[in-house]
Amino acid sequence: MTAGGTVHGCLLAGGRSTRMGRDKALLPWRGRPLLVHMVELLQAAGVEKVWVSAPAQQYCDLGLDSVADEFPGCGPLGGIYSVLHASGADRLLVTACDLPALPLALLQLLLRRSDVSHWVVAESAPGVTEPLCSVYGRDLLPELEAALRLGRLRVAAAVAAERKVVIDARELRALGIGREAFANLNSPRDFEELAVDA
């Protein structure tokens, strides 16, 4: 597989943060908002531009460009489709905004394995893929749109099997990347536990 073309990043920040009780994207992380930390992480991985999947202008005070969902109420799949479509990028490195433990090496590996026609996704454990930490090629747009129009909102079900490239958990473990790398911040307790190690 040969990587090429423009590469942008996408941070999914359109959730309601119900369990956290406040906007997760604005949680303090190493002296700045968590969303800014995640932007810097994607930039370090080599993307040319980072977009935020969120209501228009929600994070403009942080100097970030946001893209509102073309299919409102369709969860992460709607955000991924909308940013991939609006950005014009050939490949889109996608993560949720609340995954601060993601190693840079993992993001770089995803990009190295990617191209414009595939979905490259890592396993956090055998058989458990992480669609909110993966790379989507531009050629997937018709499949993603068809799934949205049919109401099939599970990201993993939206992409045909022959288009999926899975980096399995055993390979990641050999690189020192375990399940903890995918820990997300759903609750105040999650934030406290991860922040201690930050």
Using one digit for the tens of pLDDT, what is the confidence trace for 30-89? 899 999 999 999 999 999 999 999 987 788 888 888 999 999 999 999 999 999 999 999
Buried b (16+ CB within 10 A) or exposed e, 41-53: bbeebebeebbbb
What is the percent of the chain with per-residue pLDDT over 90, rounded to a whole number?
Answer: 74
User: How do residues 104-116 score in pLDDT, each as one tens digit?
Assistant: 999 999 999 999 9
Does the pLDDT of residue 1 top 90, yes or no?
Answer: no
Residue 18: pLDDT band (50, 70, 90) is low
Instruction: Supply the mean pLDDT for the chain.
Output: 91
CA 102 – CA 157 distance, rounded (Å): 24
What is the percent of the chain with per-residue pLDDT over 70, rounded to a whole number?
Answer: 93
Domain boundaries, the chain: 7-197
Based on DSSP, count helices (H) and strands (E) in the chain, helices before strands.
7, 9
The model's pTM = 0.92
User: pLDDT at position 4, please?
Assistant: 73
The yes/no answer on whether domain 7-197 falls in CATH 3.40.50.300 is no
User: How do residues 117-142 score in pLDDT, each as one tens digit?
Assistant: 999 999 999 999 999 999 999 999 99
Task: Please say whether the beta carbons of 55 and 14 come within 8 A.
Answer: yes
Q: What share of the chain is helix, strand, coil (3-state, %, to 5)?
A: 40, 25, 35
